[in-house]
A = this chain, B = another copy of it.
Amino acid sequence: MNDTIAPKAGREGLRERKKRLAEQAITDAALRLFAEKGYYETSIQEIADAVMMSSRTFFRYFDSKEDILSGAIRAVQREGLRLAAECESNEPLKIALRRVFLHLAELYQQQRDGLLARYRIAKQSSALASLFLYAMLETEPELCAALAARLEPEPDRSELRFLVALHMTALRVTIEEWLENEESPPLSSLLEQRLIF
């Protein structure tokens, strides 16, 4: 039961590795079951059985069944947020927005398969679709705050909010179209055509 070694002193231990392994196993099993029998027809007990853990332990990895779906999206969004915090202090607002959203597009692009699997499941019900959507939109306020804090001529709050929301909408609609068509151009180039604000 060793593989890539090294529970070294100050490094990464076995625990962390097993943790991520288990997380991945749960996600894989859950997405597979959701796709096979439907989200609501799959109980947490079944997911837990599939990866041979108790259902109680499942809840130590995910806050809820829904979390399996939205977690990946939230991770991407958080990454985009991190980038927004890095903008130059004198960078014009629209340039900064463009940079952040094109970067987000590239992150999503790298996850097309996982995203598509989740998107298909989310479309099984409106409750799930709402989660999917919200995982994106919920970062709007934080994104506004990050931008407002770092941009030089502090932008008008109301205007900023609107602009961020418009960009997020462009991203959302573009992602949907990109996922729905099998052979579509790269997400980032699709988005570029939309960012005309």
A residues near B (Cβ < 8 Å) are 66, 126-127, 129-131, 133-134, 137-138, 158, 161-162, 165-166, 168-170, 172-173, 177, 194
Within 8 Å by CB of A169, from B66, B138, B166, lies B166
4 residue pairs, one from A and one from B, having the closest CB atoms: A130-B134, A169-B169, A130-B130, A165-B173
Within 8 Å by CB of A130, from B131, B166, B172, B173, lies B131
Cα–Cα, bound, A112→B161 (Å) = 21
Q: In the complex, what's the smallest C-beta–C-beta distance from A122 to chain B, in angstroms?
A: 11
Within 8 Å by CB of A165, from B130, B134, B158, B172, lies B172
Chain B residues near A165 (CB, 8 Å)? 169, 172-173
Cα–Cα, bound, A126→B169 (Å) = 19
Chain B residues near A161 (CB, 8 Å)? 173, 177
Chain B residues near A138 (CB, 8 Å)? 126, 129-130
Known contacts A129-B134, A133-B137, A158-B177; 9 further A-B pairs (Cβ under 8 A): A66-B127, A126-B134, A126-B138, A162-B170, A162-B173, A165-B169, A166-B166, A166-B169, A166-B170
Cα–Cα, bound, A158→B66 (Å) = 29
Q: In the complex, what's the smallest C-beta–C-beta distance from A40 to chain B, in angstroms?
A: 13
Cα–Cα, bound, A170→B131 (Å) = 21
Once A126-B138, A138-B126, A169-B169 are accepted as A-B contacts, the answer to whether A194 and B133 lie under 8 Å apart by CB is no
Q: In the complex, what's the smallest C-beta–C-beta distance from A193 to chain B, in angstroms?
A: 10
Cα–Cα, bound, A144→B123 (Å) = 17
Cα–Cα, bound, A26→B162 (Å) = 35
Chain B residues near A162 (CB, 8 Å)? 170, 173, 194
Chain B residues near A158 (CB, 8 Å)? 177
Q: In the complex, what's the smallest C-beta–C-beta distance from A181 to chain B, in angstroms?
A: 10
Cα–Cα, bound, A162→B66 (Å) = 27
Pick 19 A–B contacts, CB within 8 A, sort by A. A66-B127, A126-B134, A127-B131, A129-B134, A129-B138, A130-B131, A130-B133, A130-B134, A130-B138, A133-B133, A133-B134, A133-B137, A158-B177, A162-B170, A162-B173, A162-B194, A166-B166, A166-B170, A168-B169
